[in-house]
């Protein structure tokens, strides 16, 4: 009981510090390889954190977005409307729950503008104007490592690199680390390993990745958590509901809660602040 009370006090203190800081912490979820479950995890971690904090989730996937489908939303305005000059960024925000708001992506637009560096700089300038309203801002990018994506990755407080134990996925995660290193990114980088058969498999994949990062990039990386295979994940996706609503006691839900807790603690200890 004392441990739970202490944790509540820590949560309250951290929320106060966030409000004093006045700037939301910005996180990108990214992956070199498609199919890692990045969007599912980013959405559900955002939903978990929204129980205590104000979250803005931005689907930055260029023209192949699916965050709105996973949560059964049909947005009237999307990030496409911002980049095409139809709306201001704050005009594209959709409220899902009082503490969880979205800027959804779009799909199937033949006229989707190519996002040059100037457009992304303008996006972050506009984001800065509204970020005081939130405690955390999550940005879910498309998979891969295009110049547009890298321009986003290098402008946030933390990169959460989602991978799986598959050797190809681990290698792609290493490539993301290498590219961030070459672009002189000085924010935080953490690894989230999804679709593990067991904890040991996830730990082995992380050890392989951290060994390569240490040997060739000369940097230390941190593991923010592992998520095991769980039928509840597929069920939540099919039901188009957050997993904490659909199956709150499932193993995946508990692991997502653990990752959410680790995320805010890591951000706190790292003294992350938006520049």
Closest CA to 138 of 235, 59, 53, 196: 59
CA dist 110 and 63 (Å) reads 9
Non-local CB neighbours of 65 within 8 Å, separated by 6+ positions: 59, 78, 104, 105, 106, 107
State how far the Cα of 66 lies from the Cα of 168, in Å rounded to an integer. Answer: 23
Please state, in angstroms and rounded to a whole number, the distance separating the CA atoms of residues 252 and 152. 29
Query: Using CB atoms within 10 A of its CB, is residue 244 exposed (0-12), middle (13-18) or buried (19+)?
Result: buried
DSSP state of 108: -
Q: Which two tokens stand for residue 267?
A: 């951000």
Domains and CATH numbers, the chain: 21-269 (3.40.50.300)
Q: Which residue has the higher pLDDT, 29 or 108?
A: 29
Whole-number Å distance between alpha carbons of 163 and 170: 6
How far apart (Å, rounded) are the C-alpha atoms in residues 15 and 52?
8
Span 144-190, pLDDT tens digits: 788 889 999 999 999 999 999 999 999 999 999 999 999 999 999 99
Give the tens place of pLDDT for each residue, 57-85.
Answer: 999 876 677 899 999 999 999 998 898 88
DSSP annotation string for 204-270? HHHHHHHHHIIIII----EEEEEEE--HHHHHHHHHTS-HHHH-TTSHHHHHHHHHHHHHHHHHHHT
pTM of this prediction? 0.88
pLDDT score of 6: 47
């Amino acid at each position: 009981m004392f441990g739970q009370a202490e944790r509540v006090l820590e949560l309250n203190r951290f929320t106060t510090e966030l409000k004093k800081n006045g700037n939301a912490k910005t996180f990108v979820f990214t992956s070199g390889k498609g199919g890692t479950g990045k969007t599912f995890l980013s959405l559900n971690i955002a939903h978990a954190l929204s129980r205590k904090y104000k979250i803005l989730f931005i689907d930055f996937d260029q023209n192949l977005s699916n965050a709105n489908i996973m949560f059964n939303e049909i947005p009237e305005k999307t990030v496409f409307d911002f980049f095409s000059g139809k709306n201001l960024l704050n005009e594209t925000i959709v409220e899902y729950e009082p503490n969880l708001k979205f800027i959804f992506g779009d799909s199937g637009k033949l006229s989707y503008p190519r996002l040059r560096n100037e457009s992304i700089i303008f996006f972050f300038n506009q984001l800065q104007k509204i970020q005081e309203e939130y405690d955390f801002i999550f940005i879910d990018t498309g998979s891969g490592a295009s110049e547009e994506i890298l321009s986003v990755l290098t402008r946030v407080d933390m990169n959460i690199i989602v991978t799986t134990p598959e050797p190809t996925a681990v290698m792609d995660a290493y490539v993301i680390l290498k590219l961030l290193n070459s672009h002189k990114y000085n924010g935080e980088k953490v690894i989230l390993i999804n679709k593990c058969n067991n904890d040991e498999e996830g730990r082995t994949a992380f050890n392989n990745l951290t060994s390569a990062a240490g040997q060739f990039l000369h940097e230390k990386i941190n593991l923010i958590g592992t998520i095991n295979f769980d039928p509840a994940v597929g069920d939540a996706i099919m039901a188009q509901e957050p997993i904490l609503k659909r199956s709150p006691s499932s193993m995946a839900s508990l692991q997502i809660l653990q990752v959410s807790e680790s995320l805010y603690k890591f951000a706190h200890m790292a003294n992350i602040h938006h520049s």
